[in-house]
Amino acid sequence: NQLLQKLSVTDGLTGLYNRSKLDMILVDQLARFKRNNRPFCLLMIDIDYFKQINDELGHIMGDKILMTVSTVLLKSIRAIDYAARYGGDEFMIILTETDMDAAIKTAERIRTQASALCQAFDASPVKISLSVGIAQSQHSDIMPNDLIARADAALYEAKKAGRDQVKIDCGRALST
């Protein structure tokens, strides 16, 4: 039963939480935020040009990159934070009790470490980059999708600005 429970909330390839579990965690985090007024941040992370990497280098290398990025995510967060595979080459991180400044530092560290690790592959180094969008919890957030939409908009801005960078949700409240 424990194995089935674990399999139902994790992504088979990366071992990170899956999208369903991510939604449950976000509901819980929003409730905690409303109770305790301690902000948390959501990072939406995308591997730049991943489809092209898969097409040119093959799906086995694509899977290796996904697993490498997942390892970087897990090593870059605290035990109280959460990492999930949102779908395809998109990942989400929930940084509990974290403000925007700390979230930006974490995002930049993830971005540089993932790129360095993939360039250090033994058989065939791969140059990858990550785009990251960050949103901080707001009292107007009712459902997980409210926060996800803002992180997604920030991610879109990072991609539009040339990729390989971190952008924050500009509509965020400055004081919560």
Q: What is the pLDDT of residues 97-142, one digit of tens each?
A: 999 999 999 999 999 999 999 888 887 889 999 999 999 999 999 9
**How many percent of the chain have pLDDT more than 90?**
87
Q: How many CA atoms lie within 13 A of 90 on its CB side?
A: 14
Q: Which residues contact 31 (CB under 8 A, 6 or more apart)?
A: none
Residue 7: predicted pLDDT: 78
Report the distance separating Cα 24 and Cα 31, nearest Å: 11
pLDDT at 61 over 90: yes
> Is the pTM for the entire model greater than 0.75?
yes
What are 46's strand-pairing partners?
A: 90, 131
Residue 5: predicted pLDDT: 76
**How many percent of the chain have pLDDT more than 70?**
97
Report the distance separating Cα 24 and Cα 49, nearest Å: 29
Looking at every residue in the chain, the average pLDDT score rounds to 93
pLDDT at 46 over 50: yes
Task: Report residue 176's pLDDT band, with 50, 70 and 90 as the boundaries.
Answer: very low
Report the distance separating Cα 3 and Cα 8, nearest Å: 9
**What angle (nearest 5°) sits at the alpha carbon of residue 29, between those of residues 23 and 131?**
65
* Mean pLDDT of the region 157-174: 84
pLDDT at 15 over 50: yes
Residue 171: predicted pLDDT: 60
What are 132's strand-pairing partners?
A: 45, 166
Residue 173: predicted pLDDT: 38
Could you give the residue numbers annotated as active site? 89
* Mean pLDDT of the region 12-35: 96
First CA to last CA distance, the chain: 41
